[in-house]
Amino acid sequence: MDNFHVNPDKIFELVLSYLPKFALALITLIAGLWLIRMFVKGIGRFMDAKKVDEALRPFLKSLASIMLKILLLVSVMGMIGIEMTSFIALLGAVGLSIGMALSGALQHFAGGVLILIYKPFKKGDFIEAQGMKGSVMEIRIFNTVLNTVDNKTVFIPNGPLSTGTILNYSAQETRRIDMIISISYDDDIEKTKTILKKLAESDPKILKDPEPYFAVSELGKNSVDLAARVWVKTSDFQDVNFAFLEAVKKEFQNEQITIPTSQVHIQLKREN
């Protein structure tokens, strides 16, 4: 078996031939990373000036940085003589395998992108979606975090969230409170409506325009039901809803207006 012989001249010649390529590739890499960093900072300043949603800014900056770094890496590898056709094919095969394995995660990722772009809600909004209600604490790439009214933290995957029905209670500045106020058949309807109007006028949080509306909505078995509709600022919804019902109870009691309760009449028949 022949001994393996290393020719120092060949090695030196090979190093000299590749050294300029490596040097140029290294300079390109360093300069490219610096330019990418400056470009990403410029994107951040542009989004600040255009008042892009705060939840969308980190994602767009990260996405731009990753994509540009991948392009830079491919360019540098090509400069030092690495055959990129096979590398790109291998990268595509690996990406396809990872995509198939993480199809669910990619669905949530795509959902997060759609939410951040179309913005059906923003941080701080109170929404109802996927059977849950709560205030939006954070919009992440894969899920959205809600804080429920009883202080529970809920993580909703962005995939079904982006394709399902979303009810945003905070999207509009005002909301209407719909209540049903029941009185007995013996009570005076006009007197009751006057009392309700007076209570609405005395509450500064109830808006005058649109004006409050009170009317008979149903003649029930045991009661006359009146629809009470008042408009408030969205932020005052819960406070006014509770306070108005409490005021109605107290005022009805003072004015001797009866709030009916369900009654069951049992008739006993005695057999002879």
My answer on whether 178 and 154 are in the same domain is no
Tokens of 141: 């790439």
Residue 238 resides in a domain: yes
Residue 45 covered by a domain? yes
98 or 114, higher pLDDT = 114
Domain membership of residue 264 (yes or no) is: no
Identify whether 1 is part of a domain: no
Whether residues 39 and 65 fall in one domain:
yes
Per-residue pLDDT for 232 more than 80?
Answer: yes
Q: What pLDDT is attached to residue 72?
A: 84
On whether both 75 and 139 belong to a single domain, the answer is: no
* Whether residue 53 sits in one domain with residue 85: yes
Domain closes at, from 51, 66, 101: 101
pLDDT band with cut points at 50, 70 and 90 for residue 50: confident
Across 33-42, 61-70, 232-241, least confident range: 61-70
Q: What's the domain range around 125?
A: 121-168
Residue 57 belongs to domain with CATH number: 1.10.287.1260
pLDDT of residue 83: 64
Both structure tokens of 74: 């491919």
CB atoms within 10 A of CB 253: 11
Encode 23-51: b = buried (16+ Cβ within 10 Å), e = exposed. Answer: eebeeebeebeeebeeebeebbeebeeee
Same domain, 15 and 91: yes
The Cα 173–Cα 133 span in angstroms is 19
Residue range 229-240: average pLDDT? 94
Is 134 found in the same domain as 185? no
What pLDDT score does 17 carry? 66
Domain of 153, CATH number, reads 2.30.30.60
User: Residue 247 domain-assigned?
Assistant: yes
Confidence (pTM): 0.62
Determine the pLDDT at residue 261: 76
Number of domains making up the chain: 3
